[in-house]
Structure 1
Amino acid sequence: MTSVRHIAAPTARVFSTVADITNFSKAVPHIVRVDFLSEQRVGVGTRFRETRLMNGREAATVLEVTEYIEGERIRLVSDSQGTVWDSVFTVVPREGGSELTLVMEARPHKLLAKLTTPLLKGFIAKALEKDMDAVKAWCEARHA
């Protein structure tokens, strides 16, 4: 699943929004809580539990930053309910602002997940689009 947004804001602002979970959770309104599971708050090795409202219920996921290139790229990985969710945000300068790309791969490794993950992809894709729209709105509002 891939989602791309042109954002009328500097790359540094866009990157700090997606690469720092504290900022990301402010930008994405359905994230209701973040609990850090590591001393580190930003960069490789950062682990946290993100709790979101999904269909009126809270759902928590543990994520870890496994790749971090300042100002350019961050990779978040989660192993949840038999599926590894591998998400990469990339930010590049573009005329009038930045281009933010999110690529998420789902790799089920348990039998039930192999059956259900394909069914969830549409739902997950819609959620990713909402996240990207929220990041765009957040960054542009702070740049105006």
Structure 2
Amino acid sequence: MTRTTMTRTIDAPLEDVFNTVADISQYSEAVPHIVKIEFLTESKTGVGTRFRETRLMKGKEAATELEVTEYVENDRVRMVADSHGTVWDSLFTVRSENGKTNLTLIMEARAYKFLPRLMNPLIKGMVAKAVGMDMDMVKAHCENQQK
């Protein structure tokens, strides 16, 4: 298993930051390399919501199906994907501090096939860089909403 943790301090209300990461429609507005969202359930937010997210990665489209498995409003949201022999478990949490919002993401990659067990530790830096860019875009999006 590999684990990546990162935090951004965002000059925006906690509710706005939470809604940006917990509502995939808003998240896709904040992260422009998400080029398409297809909901696979009637629900658009909350536990049980399933969707297919298509991103541009190195000039190519890559689709991943995710499910919201935990949702506590204005506190945390967990999204899980099972892709190419790895379960990707992403937990976003929000906390208020000194009038700003700390957004933390803990992403765990649990490989259950042989090749991903070898490869995931090797690509951890690349994944962390991509996730960090997403977090930076969420921060910029939320802060620009305040202007």
TM-score of Structure 1 vs Structure 2, range by shorter chain: over 0.9
Number of the residue aligned with 1:122: 125
Number of the residue aligned with 2:53: 50
TM-score (norm 2): 0.96
- What's the Cα RMSD here? 0.6
Which of the numbers 64, 69, 85 marks the counterpart of 2:67?
A: 64
Number of the residue aligned with 2:22: 19
TM-score (norm 1): 0.98
Number of the residue aligned with 1:111: 114
C-alpha deviation, 1:96, in angstroms: 2.8
C-alpha deviation, 1:137, in angstroms: 0.2
C-alpha deviation, 1:115, in angstroms: 1.3
Q: Secondary structure at the match of 1:60?
A: strand
Show structure 1 runs of 5+ residues with no match.
none
Show structure 2 runs of 5+ residues with no match.
none
Residue 101 in structure 1 maps to residue 104 in structure 2: yes
1:63-113 per-position Cα deviation (integer Å, ceiling 9, x unaligned): 000000001100000000000000000001111310000000000001111
Alpha-carbon distance in 1 for matches of 2:25, 2:85? 27
Which of the numbers 1, 9, 12 marks the counterpart of 1:9?
A: 12
Where in structure 1 do 4 or more consecutive aligned residues deviate above 2 Å? none
Identity of aligned residues (%): 60
How many pairs align? Answer: 144
Residue 30 in structure 1 maps to residue 14 in structure 2: no
Alpha-carbon distance in 2 for matches of 1:94, 1:28? 24
